[in-house]
């Protein structure tokens, strides 16, 4: 492993849940953003880190132009997607120029890019996190060598804390005056912090949560979001559900009656430009 890659990982260990905005990671004070992002992508190729990115500028693709020539009343895409294609039909634009709400536009734009209807001209990494594989590598496989000092004491402290946390016995995690026998067990719906799941695994997880919670194939999105964030960012999670919907593996239904749910739970749905948020997941397989 290159020195700069090691520093990147050790710097990341200093953040809660080993997750941070990419701008907070500084292997060296003089590391340029392009170099930092290159290190991030290299480590991601080795499955040591994961990252989220956003599209900064984009233009319409030939497929998108062809789609806009169809009958507007029969377009096979959502109204917000049509608005974006129309906005970039003549030139490269930024997300802000789409006039969509900031909370939803990035997920819609990235969905269009995945469909091949727009072309991303400039992309920026926004978040980075240490994967389960990255933790395993640092804990069990990495063997540094050499005599030159290459890391700061702060980075060394991050690494030592990481090792101590990894080596802590289960009994050490119980608060004073309690024991494993008297402590309330953790619920089965614990957060998943491993590498991203495949579409098959996500559908299986939806079905598993539906059975555990007895939601009759009407699983509120916040239950799945709590399982998959992290490692997924909110935008990645939303795009994943849109992808499953496009491939007819699930349906997404809006919330009509809000009295049964808290504002925090409702906020974890997927906002829409018109009407209530998408709130329920229905497996169609």
Q: How are strands ordered across the β-sheet holding 250-254?
A: 219-220, 278-283, 250-254
How far is 14 from 154, CA to CA, in rounded Å? Answer: 8
Kindly state whether residue 84 falls inside one of the protein's structural domains: yes
145: nearest Cα among 6, 285, 284: 6
pLDDT of residue 147: 64
Percent of residues, the chain, with pLDDT higher than 70: 85
Asked if omega into 279 is within 30° of 0 (cis), the reply is no
* pLDDT(16) > 70: yes
Q: What is the DSSP annotation of 163-212?
A: HHHHH--GGGGSPTT--TTTSPPPPS-PPP-SSPPPHHHHHHHHHHHHHH
* pLDDT(273) > 80: no
What is the pLDDT averaged over residues 130-158? 80
In this predicted model, what pLDDT tens digit does every residue of 165-189 receive, in sequence order? 777 644 444 444 444 443 334 333 3
66 and 44 together in one domain: no
Domain count, the chain: 3
What is the pLDDT averaged over residues 123-152? 82
Kindly state whether residue 188 falls inside one of the protein's structural domains: no
How far is 114 from 233, CA to CA, in rounded Å? Answer: 17
* pLDDT(237) > 50: yes
Which H or E run includes 62? helix 62-68
Phi-psi category of residue 27: left, alpha or beta, with phi > 0 → left and psi -120 to 50 → alpha: alpha
The residues pairing with 125 across neighbouring beta strands, listed in sequence order, are 53
* pLDDT(137) > 60: yes
Kindly state whether residue 72 falls inside one of the protein's structural domains: yes
In this predicted model, what pLDDT tens digit does every residue of 213-233 receive, in sequence order? 888 888 899 889 888 877 778
- Domain extent, residue 113, equals 54-127
78 and 26 together in one domain: no
Residue of 20 and 102 predicted with greater confidence = 20
136 and 40 together in one domain: yes
How far is 114 from 121, CA to CA, in rounded Å? Answer: 14
pTM of the model: 0.53
Kindly state whether residue 184 falls inside one of the protein's structural domains: no
HSE, side-chain direction, 13 A CA sphere, residue 205: 20
């Amino acid at each position: 492993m290159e020195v700069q890659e090691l520093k990147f990982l050790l710097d990341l260990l200093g953040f809660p849940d080993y997750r941070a905005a990419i701008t907070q990671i500084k292997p060296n004070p003089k590391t340029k953003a392009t170099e930092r992002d290159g290190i991030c992508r290299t480590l991601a190729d080795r499955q040591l880190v994961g990252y989220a990115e956003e599209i900064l500028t984009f233009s319409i693709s030939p497929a998108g132009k062809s789609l806009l020539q169809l009958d507007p009343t029969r377009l096979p895409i959502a109204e917000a997607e049509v608005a974006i294609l129309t906005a970039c039909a003549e030139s490269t634009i930024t997300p802000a120029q789409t006039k969509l709400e900031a909370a939803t536009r990035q997920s819609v734009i990235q969905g269009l890019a995945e469909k091949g209807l727009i072309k991303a001209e400039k992309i920026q990494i926004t978040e980075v996190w240490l994967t389960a594989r990255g933790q395993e590598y640092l804990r069990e496989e990495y063997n540094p060598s050499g005599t030159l000092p290459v890391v700061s004491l702060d980075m060394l402290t991050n690494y030592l804390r990481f090792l101590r946390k990894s080596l802590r016995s289960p009994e050490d995690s119980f608060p004073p005056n309690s024991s494993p026998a008297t402590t309330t067990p953790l619920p089965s719906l614990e957060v998943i912090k491993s590498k991203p799941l495949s579409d098959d695994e996500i559908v299986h997880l939806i079905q598993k949560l539906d059975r555990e919670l007895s939601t009759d194939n009407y699983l509120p999105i916040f239950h799945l979001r709590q399982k998959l964030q992290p490692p997924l960012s909110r935008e990645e999670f939303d795009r994943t559900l849109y992808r499953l919907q496009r491939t007819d593996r699930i349906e997404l239904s809006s919330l009509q009656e809000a009295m049964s749910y808290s504002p925090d739970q409702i906020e974890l749905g997927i906002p829409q430009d018109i009407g209530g948020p998408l709130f329920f997941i229905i497996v169609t397989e």
